[in-house]
Structure 1
Amino acid sequence: MDTVDFEIWMFIAGLGIFLFGMYHLETGLKGLAGNSFKKLLQRFTDKRWKGILTGSFVTAILQSSSLVTLLVLAFLGAGMISLQNSLGVVFGANLGTTVTAWIVATVGFKLDIADLSYPFLAIGSLSYLLLDSRPVLKNWGSFLIGFGLLFLGLDFMKTSIEDVAGQVDLRLYANVGLWIFLLIGLITTVLIQSSSAMIVIVLSALNAELISIHQSVAIIIGANVGTTSTLIIASFNGTADKKRLAAANVIFNLVAGAVSFLLLRQMVYFTIHYLGIREPLLELVFLNTLINLIGIVLFFPFIPAFARFMNRRFVKSEPSGTCLYIKNVDPEVSDVALQALDNEISRVYTLVEEFILDCLLIGKNGNHRSSGIKNIFRIEKNLLETYAQLKTIEDEITDYYTQIQRFKLTQSEADLTSNYLIRVRSMIIAAKNIKDVIPNIKEMADSEDPVAVEILGSLQNFAVKNLNKLSSQAPEGMGREEISRLQREYEDFYILTVNYLYKNIPPKAQLSVSVSSITNAIRKIVSTLEELITSVNHPESRNNKGTEPAATDAGTLPAESPFGPLQGQD
């Protein structure tokens, strides 16, 4: 009895050592190349097949499908990857986890793995403990510790199972249905939360001839379904995207598992008689890989339709808020959070640009919009609602900014977040400037005064021209010289327009729009464009604003006028 108890504890100790090794291996690799893997996931997921290959490769290296899935969730929330392509990555991650089984089957049972683990543990432990001031070497130490513990834990499990295998009569399992073994694999994996550890247990049992190849494959199928529990648990209080990925992963493994279980005997027969793989361990790891390949082949043609189907699920779990990107990304993942913030700022700029054009009663191509009496009140109500929405977005971005500041940021990341806040503030000020003169613009549009109508047309054309120019500059920003040139151009336009108004004021009896209304519209529209210059540039590029260009007499006007020859001008 004492001997049996000892073997049980030895087996549990081996399992614990193996899982602890997986943890150190993952930690070390994240420290050594975490950002590289993030960039790889971002860069090579624009196609379904690329997503599958990238997910397989990254998971094969990191040996953590859970980590890869959490990274994908962050990218998905930030708008850096679509749900369709993220599904490809998750499906590929399932395939990537099979690499552990191949390493264990080809190395772990062929060599004296306890002796193999000692050099890794010796070098890794010393590096991890003594080189704390050198992060790269410490991460290498963590990686080596993990590698050594994997093999040491495997040796413990293998030895404990081999010692009890001779005491078990296999004939007792001869008439037990394979579905029992499938349930054993599923339940055990849910409990230990590691399909890699589960397959090592099965390989040890198969190596000790404790179970047959058919029973082993049934356990592995159950383990593939059971490993989805990790993501399911993580998605309970998660966003809609997290729940969609978790559900998609469950469906993928259920379908692949059901098809493989139905064809289990045929797959084993095919592997032995057609492929000539007669070594039980290699046969099992091959079939484990084949099960995941079957799932990928079955789902690949339908990934777009499957993504659309999943997008319609869990709608009630969508995060609250007006923003699209930042509400789905944990601010703790700083680089992804900054990308989400960048996407959100770009969206705000587009919304503000559309708002400005709506206020000016024109389209981006310069086409004028109708402005009848019935349209006035409807448009004004919608514009005020749009402005309120922009203010809400600004508040949400500001709140997200404060959340990001709680985490450790590099100096460049801190500067970038501050820049984002300055840019969004400038956009909202621009929106406020144009919002304040909506009544003036409509008054000019409805007027029969030719001067008011002409000035409004000039303002509309000037706004369209410069909005298009700023939009083209937004991705890269502008240099100081370009900013100064534009600001001088805006000031010149303001001076010319105001002087044109002053020289062409009709008699008071014929004036249908007050001069103050027209000058207010001119000032605010020019100020709106000036604020947008700030919104597409870094803080250090910002010149002093707040001084309104002063109108001058005709003798100081620039040579060219946006109106042609001024009335009364020599």
Structure 2
Amino acid sequence: MEEDLFDFWKFLAGIGIFLWGMHQLENAIKELGGKSFRNLLQKSTNTAFKGILIGALITAILQSSSLVTLMVLAFLGAGVINLKNSIGVILGANLGTTITAWIVATLGFKLSVADFAMPFLGLGSLLYLFSSSRPVLKNIGAFAVGFGLLFLGLDFMKTAIEAVAEQIDLSVFHAYGLWVYLLIGIVVTALIQSSSAMVVIILSSINAGVIGLLEGAVLIIGANIGTTITVALGSLNGSADKKRLALAHTLFNVITGILIFIFIKPLISYTMHIFNIADPLMELVLLNTLINLMGIILFFPFINKLENWLQHRFMSSEPIGISKFIKNVSPKVPEIAITALEKDMQFAFDRTISFISSVWKESEEQKKQISIWRRILQQPQNLMEQYAQIKILEDELTNYHIDLQEENLSLEDAERLTSLMLTLRTLVYASKDLKDVLHNIKEMEEKEDALTQKYYHQLKQYSFEFLREIKTFLETEKIDGLHPDWIEKNAAQYNIWISNIYQDYKTYTQNFPISTMTNVLKQVVSSLDNLGSASVHFKMETRKVIDKE
């Protein structure tokens, strides 16, 4: 009895050590090459098929489908990849994660696992402890420790199961049918939250003779279904996109699992005959790979329809806020978060330019539909609402910036983030300058004297010409050699206006105060100066990022 208890705790310790090793491996590889993998994922997923290939490759290397899922969610939220291609990556990740089973079946049951793990644990621990000032060596040490823990945990589980193999009789379950093993696979995987660990348990059980190949294959199917529960639970309080991906992942594993379960016996017979495999462990890991591969083949033709269907799900879970991108991206992935921030900065430019245009422009259709008195009363309120939206967007971007600062940013990312916030402040100043004289501008619009109308139309025409230049500049991809002299141009125009206005006031009959007129001129020029400065700063910073890539 004492021995049984000891074996149980050894088995439990094996699961814990294995999971901890997986965690260490994930963190070490993320630090060593996380940015490179993110760049690969970003640049190589322009189609669903490429998404499947890249998802499988990155997951096979990182040994973590959860990490790949996190990256996919971040890219999806940032608008870097669409939902269809992100589904492709998730399908590929399911295939890539089967590499763990191949490693374990190939090495874990062919060698003295404990002896194999010791050099990795010993050398890795020393490298990790004595290389704190050298991040690359430290992470290589962490990788070695994780690899050693992985196989030490496997050894604990294997020996614990072997010790009690003769005492376990699972024949009692046979009377209930294979669905019992399916249920066991689902429940245990959901409890330990790792399909890789469950696969190791199944392989250990087959190696010890506790279960046969058929029962092991059904447990594998259950493990594939059970792993979706963790993702589904994690998405409950998440964004709509996170729930959509979790649902796609669940549908893929559940539908594939049920179909394979129905035909599991002929599938085993067919694969053993075709591939002529005598080793049940190798047969099982092959089945694990084939299950996911067949699921991909089954789902791939329907990805477009699945995307359309998912787009109409979880509409109530769409994130609240004016921003379009940052609300969908966790600050925990800084590089992607900053990309989302850049996209929302472009959105802030659109909002600001729209506000400035609205100050000067009102369509003829609106004028016909709304009386002059209602227009005088309502238009400022509409414009103030636009300005309020810009301020709310500023608050959202600023709060996101604060959250990002708490992350471990590289010097390059920190400088990029600071530059974006400087652009944001300058952009908001452009709106505020105009907002402060909004009532004066509307008053000028309604004045009938020739002098006021003259300067109102000059300001209006000059502002629209300036906005056209800004839009052209922002939309131009190649800006080498472009150095807009907007501030000098605005200063020259302002001096012309100020010089002329005092002369005009001597000759024109007017009823608009000259002090108010000069203040409007000053604020309009200041607004355009800030808009121009923000545009140049933003475009140059974006150019630097593209050049580095």
Contact 1:477–1:536 (8 Å) recurs in 2: no
- 1:489 is matched with 489
For 1:235-250, what aligned pairs fall within 5 Å after superposition?
A: 235-250=235-250
- 1:55 is matched with 55
User: Residue 320 of structure 1 aligns to which amino acid in structure 2?
Assistant: I
Contact 2:173–2:180 (8 Å) recurs in 1: no
Mapped to 1, the partners of 2:517 and 2:49 lie a distance apart of 58
Q: Once the two structures are superposed, what CA deviation does each residue of 1:69-125 show, in whole Å capped at 9, x if it has no partner?
A: 122223333333333322222222111111101111222223333332232223222
Contact 1:371–1:446 (8 Å) recurs in 2: no
Q: Once the two structures are superposed, what CA deviation does each residue of 1:312-353 show, in whole Å capped at 9, x if it has no partner?
A: 333333333322222333334332332222222111011111
Mapped to 1, the partners of 2:434 and 2:26 lie a distance apart of 53
TM-score normalized with structure 1 length: 0.84
- 1:90 is matched with 90
The alpha-carbon distance between structure 1 residues 528 and 352, as it changes in their structure 2 partners (threshold 3 A), is same
Q: List alignment gaps of at least 5 residues for structure 2.
A: 542-549
Partner of 1:429, secondary structure, is helix
Contact 1:371–1:445 (8 Å) recurs in 2: no
TM-score normalized with structure 2 length: 0.87
Matched, 1:116 2:110: no
For 1:552-567, what aligned pairs fall within 5 Å after superposition?
A: none
Matched, 1:298 2:298: yes
Mapped to 2, the partners of 1:326 and 1:145 lie a distance apart of 36
Shift of 1:421: 2.4
- 1:358 is matched with 358
The alpha-carbon distance between structure 1 residues 370 and 450, as it changes in their structure 2 partners (threshold 3 A), is farther
Contact 1:487–1:530 (8 Å) recurs in 2: yes
Mapped to 2, the partners of 1:51 and 1:468 lie a distance apart of 39
Partner of 2:46, secondary structure, is coil
Matched, 1:102 2:102: yes
Partner of 1:536, secondary structure, is helix
Partner of 2:331, secondary structure, is coil
- 1:16 is matched with 16
Mapped to 2, the partners of 1:45 and 1:441 lie a distance apart of 50
- 1:552 is matched with none
Shift of 1:146: 1.7
Contact 1:430–1:528 (8 Å) recurs in 2: yes
Partner of 1:227, secondary structure, is helix
The structure in which a higher percent of residues are helix is 2
- 1:546 is matched with none
User: Residue 31 of structure 1 aligns to which amino acid in structure 2?
Assistant: E
User: Residue 210 of structure 2 aligns to which amino acid in structure 1?
Assistant: L
Partner of 1:482, secondary structure, is coil
Partner of 2:483, secondary structure, is helix
The alpha-carbon distance between structure 1 residues 532 and 285, as it changes in their structure 2 partners (threshold 3 A), is same
Matched, 1:80 2:80: yes
Q: Once the two structures are superposed, what CA deviation does each residue of 1:202-255 show, in whole Å capped at 9, x if it has no partner?
A: 112222332222211111111111112322333333333333322332222112
- 1:536 is matched with 535
- 2:522 is matched with 523
**Which structure: larger Rg?**
1
Partner of 2:110, secondary structure, is coil
User: Residue 5 of structure 2 aligns to which amino acid in structure 1?
Assistant: D
Partner of 1:46, secondary structure, is coil
Contact 2:451–2:508 (8 Å) recurs in 1: no
Contact 2:239–2:317 (8 Å) recurs in 1: yes
Mapped to 2, the partners of 1:88 and 1:339 lie a distance apart of 22
Shift of 1:389: 0.8
* RMSD of aligned Cα (Å): 3.1
Q: List alignment gaps of at least 5 residues for structure 1.
A: 543-570
Contact 1:478–1:537 (8 Å) recurs in 2: no
Contact 1:51–1:86 (8 Å) recurs in 2: yes
Partner of 1:330, secondary structure, is coil
The alpha-carbon distance between structure 1 residues 245 and 490, as it changes in their structure 2 partners (threshold 3 A), is same
Q: Once the two structures are superposed, what CA deviation does each residue of 1:391-428 show, in whole Å capped at 9, x if it has no partner?
A: 11112222223333334444443333333222222222
Mapped to 1, the partners of 2:2 and 2:344 lie a distance apart of 64
Tell me whether 498-507 or 412-421 shows the greater mean CA deviation: 498-507
Matched residues, number: 535
